[in-house]
Chain A
C-alpha cells in the first residue's frame, strides 16, 4: 500500500483534500511591541536580547512592512511580542494588509472585534499556579488571569486558549479546561520548552522528585484524559499528545524546517521572525527563537515541523492517519473558520503502538522512529 492507495479510502482522501486547500499558507512572525503588563515565568519574549530593541510604533511603517511581506508571499502573520493587545493601531495596520493570522496574548486587554485573526490566549495554570507564574513588571505576584480572560472574550469565536504544561501544573489543567468548557471556548495544549541560556522553574529537566521522561508521561496521560473528557472543547489529537510528550524533542524526532535550524524548501526559505523594531536576524528565524532546540516541544513549532513531514508519515497507513489528525487539528487551532473532523483517524491504541516501536537512537539528527517497520 502506498500513498495513492491511502487516498482511495474515501475518509482519508476526503480529509487530505480538505487540509490540502491550506498547503499554501506562508507565515512569518512579528513582535509588535516589547511592552507588557506582566513579566511571567516562562515567557519566551523576555529571553535572549530580542526585547532590547526600540519599538517602532508608527502604524504607517507597519503598513509598509506588511505590504512588503505580502509581496514576499507571506499570507499568514503571527503577531506576538510581549503583549500585542497594547498596540491596537499596529494590529489594525497588519490586519488591513494581511487578513489571515494569529495574535498571541495574555487576554487581559480585549482586542478589537473587527480584527478577525485567531487569538491564542496563554494560560499557565489554575488559581494556584497561574498567579505564581504570572508576575507584575515590578516582580510582585501577578493576577490569576483566567476569569478576566473568559470575561474579556465571552462568545468570541476567534479565541483558542493555550494551556502550557510544565512539571508542576499537570493536575491544575482539570479546573482550567472545565472552566473553558463551561464558557463554550476551545483549548489546546503546549508543553513548556526550556530557553537556551536561562533555566526556568517550569522546565521539565531532571528534578529530585521526577525524571523528565516521567513528567512527560504524566503530561501525556493527562492530555489523553482531557481529549476524552472534553472532546468538543479540546483541540488536540492523540498523535499531538504523542509527539509533543515524546522523550525526544520535536527536532530530534523529525528535524526542523525553520531557517534557524536545518531549514528546508518551504518555510526554511521564507519564515522570518521580526522584532519590534522591524528587523529580523537570520539566526533567530523560528517561531520561538530563544528556545533550546533539544528541548523544543512547542505547539507552534510542532505545527510547522510535523505538518511539513508528509513523506515521513506516508510510510504506513497508520502514520498517515496520525498525520491527518495532526494537520486537521493544527488547522483548527490556527485558521479562522476551519472545522476539524468529528472523529480521530488515529486512536489512542494506534498511538500507543507507535510508542512501542524501537527508536533508531541518533540523537543528533531526526531519528525518525516512524522509519521503523509498523
Chain B
C-alpha cells in the first residue's frame, strides 16, 4: 500500500501551502474545507484560487483550459477534472482520510 497522499489530500496540501495568510486564517480555511464545498465560500478569494490552480497545473503537469476555470469551484471538481485528464486517482473519502481508491 502506497504512503503517497491521495489526490484530495494532495490538492488540499497544495492549496493550504499556497495561501499567503496568517496561520489563524489558514486554520479556519482548513476547517471549513470540504470536498464539495465552494472554495470561494471557504475564505479563499478569486486570485488565491487562480494562484492555486496555476500551482496545480505545475504539480500535476497539466494545462487547464481557460474555459474550464469557472467550473473548478471545489476540490472535488478539480480532482474530477484531473482524473479525466488521467493525472490523479480520485478518492471517495472526505478530506484528511487516507483511503486509497483501488482498482
Chain A complexes with chain B: yes
Rounded to whole Å, the gap between the CB of B18 and the closest CB of chain A is 9
Cα of A5 to Cα of B54 in the assembled complex, Å: 11
B41-64: which residues lie under 8 A (CB-CB) from chain A?
45-51, 53-55, 57-59
Q: Which A residues lie within 8 Å of B55 (CB)?
A: 3-4
Contacts A2-B57, A23-B47, A311-B50 aside, 19 further interface pairs with beta carbons under 8 A come to: A2-B54, A2-B58, A3-B57, A3-B58, A4-B54, A17-B20, A20-B47, A21-B20, A23-B20, A23-B48, A24-B45, A266-B40, A266-B46, A266-B47, A267-B46, A307-B47, A310-B50, A310-B54, A371-B66
Q: Which A residues lie within 8 Å of B53 (CB)?
A: 311
Let me know if A265 is at the binding interface, CB within 8 A: yes
Cα of A308 to Cα of B70 in the assembled complex, Å: 13
Q: A residues within 8 Å of B by Cβ?
A: 2-5, 17, 20-21, 23-24, 264-267, 307-308, 310-312, 314, 368, 371
Cα of A5 to Cα of B61 in the assembled complex, Å: 13
Cα of A21 to Cα of B22 in the assembled complex, Å: 11
Q: Which among B46, B48, B57, B59 is the interface contact of A308 at CB below 8 angstroms? A: B46
Total A-B residue contacts, Cβ distance less than 8 Å: 51
Q: Which A residues lie within 8 Å of B48 (CB)?
A: 23
Q: Say whether, besides A264-B46, A265-B49, A368-B66, A311 and B54 are in contact (CB < 8 Å).
A: yes
- Nearest first, the 10 A-B pairs at minimum CB distance are A266-B46, A3-B54, A2-B58, A23-B47, A4-B58, A310-B50, A265-B46, A20-B20, A314-B54, A311-B50
Cα of A311 to Cα of B47 in the assembled complex, Å: 9
Q: Flag if A5 contacts B58 (CB, 8 Å).
A: yes
Q: Flag if B69 contacts A311 (CB, 8 Å).
A: yes
A-B contacts, 9 of them at CB < 8 A, read A2-B54, A17-B20, A23-B45, A264-B46, A264-B70, A265-B49, A265-B70, A266-B46, A308-B46
Among A17, A311, A314: residue with most chain B CB under 10 A: A311
Q: Which B residues lie within 8 Å of A311 (CB)?
A: 50, 53-54, 66, 69
Nearest CB to that of B25 among chain A residues? A24
Rounded to whole Å, the gap between the CB of A293 and the closest CB of chain B is 19
Nearest CB to that of B55 among chain A residues? A4
Cα of A20 to Cα of B21 in the assembled complex, Å: 10
Q: Which A residues lie within 8 Å of B54 (CB)?
A: 2-4, 310-311, 314
Nearest CB to that of A309 among chain B residues? B50
Nearest CB to that of A255 among chain B residues? B66
Cα of A76 to Cα of B59 in the assembled complex, Å: 34
Q: Flag if A265 contacts B40 (CB, 8 Å).
A: yes
Rounded to whole Å, the gap between the CB of A242 and the closest CB of chain B is 20
Rounded to whole Å, the gap between the CB of B52 and the closest CB of chain A is 10
Q: Which among B51, B57, B58 is the interface contact of A310 at CB below 8 angstroms? A: B51
Cα of A323 to Cα of B45 in the assembled complex, Å: 18
Cα of A65 to Cα of B71 in the assembled complex, Å: 33
Cα of A266 to Cα of B70 in the assembled complex, Å: 11
Q: Which among A4, A5, A310 is the interface contact of B47 at CB below 8 angstroms? A: A310
Interface string of B68-92 (1 = CB under 8 A from A): 0110010000000000000000000
Cα of A38 to Cα of B39 in the assembled complex, Å: 46
Q: Which A residues lie within 8 Å of B20 (CB)?
A: 17, 20-21, 23
